[in-house]
Amino acid sequence: MGNKRSGWGPCLTISIMFLLAAGLYSLSSGSAGIPLNKIIPIILKGRGTSEFSIISDIRLPRIILGFAIGGSLSLAGIILQGIFRNPLVEPYTLGISGGAALGAALCIVLGLHRLFPDFAMPLFGFMGALAVVLSVYLANIQRKIFRTDGFLLTGVMISFISSSLVTLILAISRIEDLHSIIFWIMGSLEEPGWVFIITVLCVSLLCLVVSYLFCLDLNALSLGDEEAIHLGVNVVKTKKILFFIAALLTGVSVSIAGIIGFVGLVVPHFARMFAGYDHRRLLIVSFLTGAGFLIFCDTLARTIVAPVELPAGVITGILGGSLFVYALSKKSAAF
């Protein structure tokens, strides 16, 4: 599978180079520009300078968070597209983002984000995402059958319901709450604290390792359920595990950074364009490419109209949507 694409070495090299370039661009860009050739000396010199504080306390946390969330959303997109055999499926298709947005909106309206500013928003966002995941799962698991069409339809409907409820909350909210909800929905990598950064980083890397154990199963599932069964794959069990991995990646990412769209939809398509369809390389390449893409978009978001900082979700939507139209125009991007 994917033998006509670039080999493993070139694909991995390109992905790593893109990620490193995005990281260096992010470290050096901002209202206080830092030349690339001075970054290493500043870091080696240690604390005591404003440049070191900017790098270590502001830009580096955002880069790590962008790495974890961008990689998580891309990995979730690859997994879900492999499970459902549908190139238009993304992490937010199943209504996870809508549930998280509803949880965050309720948290803001109830004023809990002021009482517990450090963890109320991520907690309520994750609880909302978890509620949607369980609802979609329980509504479609019958007699040990994994109904993929039912998952998609239920997820889309729950997403519409959640969006309508969020709109209702927006209509009756105070102005200050309205601004907070809208800004959260648009997604941002504003540093939420090292505890959350380390948490999402560990979850993303752990899920990458676990999902890689199912890379051959994903290759088999891409041929169809019957073919996968003939190849010895426990289709129902495998889909359940992979579904919850994708749900965990999406739920944690959305609860920390809000709704950052198009990463889990666009990046998998471009990863297939140069890495092929073999999930042994596709999972890792997509993770690294998604991480670099989000870091790059976040850098644009905080520099393109400086000193005003745009939500990262705005840039990923504009840039990702444009790239997706380009990808659809290429036959090589077809699933």
Give 196 or 190, the one with higher predicted confidence: 196
Mean pLDDT for the stretch of residues 202-226:
92
Nearest to 65 by CA among 263, 317, 290, 291: 291
Considering only 73-87, 104-118, 211-225, which range has the smallest mean pLDDT?
Answer: 104-118
How deeply is 311 buried, as exposed, middle or buried, from its count of CB atoms within 10 A (0-12, 13-18, 19+)? buried
Q: What are phi and psi of 3, to 5 degrees?
A: -70, -20
Nearest to 90 by CA among 217, 263, 293, 245: 263
DSSP characters over 68-107: HHHHHHHHHHHHHHHHHT-TT--TTTTSHHHHHHHHHHHH
Nearest to 61 by CA among 53, 73, 72: 53
Q: What average pLDDT is seen over the chain?
A: 84
pLDDT band at 299 (very low <50, low <70, confident <90, very high): very high
Gap between the Cα atoms of 193 and 87, Å rounded: 35
Check whether 313 has a pLDDT greater than 60: yes
Intra-chain end-to-end CA distance of the chain, in Å: 12
pLDDT band at 331 (very low <50, low <70, confident <90, very high): low
Gap between the Cα atoms of 163 and 180, Å rounded: 16
Q: Is 142 helix (H, G, I), strand (E, B) or coil?
A: strand
Gap between the Cα atoms of 64 and 78, Å rounded: 21
Find all residues with CB under 8 Å of 122, minimum gap 6, and list them. 192, 196, 255, 256
Nearest to 108 by CA among 167, 177, 168, 183: 177
**% pLDDT > 70, the chain:** 92
Q: What are phi and psi of 224, to 5 degrees?
A: 115, 155
Gap between the Cα atoms of 212 and 279, Å rounded: 8
Mean pLDDT for the stretch of residues 64-81:
94
Q: What is the DSSP letter of 305?
A: T
pLDDT band at 1 (very low <50, low <70, confident <90, very high): very low
Q: Let me know: does 27 contact 55? Beta carbons within 8 Å.
A: yes
Q: Kindly report, residue by residue over 165-194, the tens digit of the pLDDT.
A: 988 988 888 887 888 888 888 888 876 678
Report CA 14 to chain centroid distance, whole Å.
20
8-333: what CATH class? mainly alpha
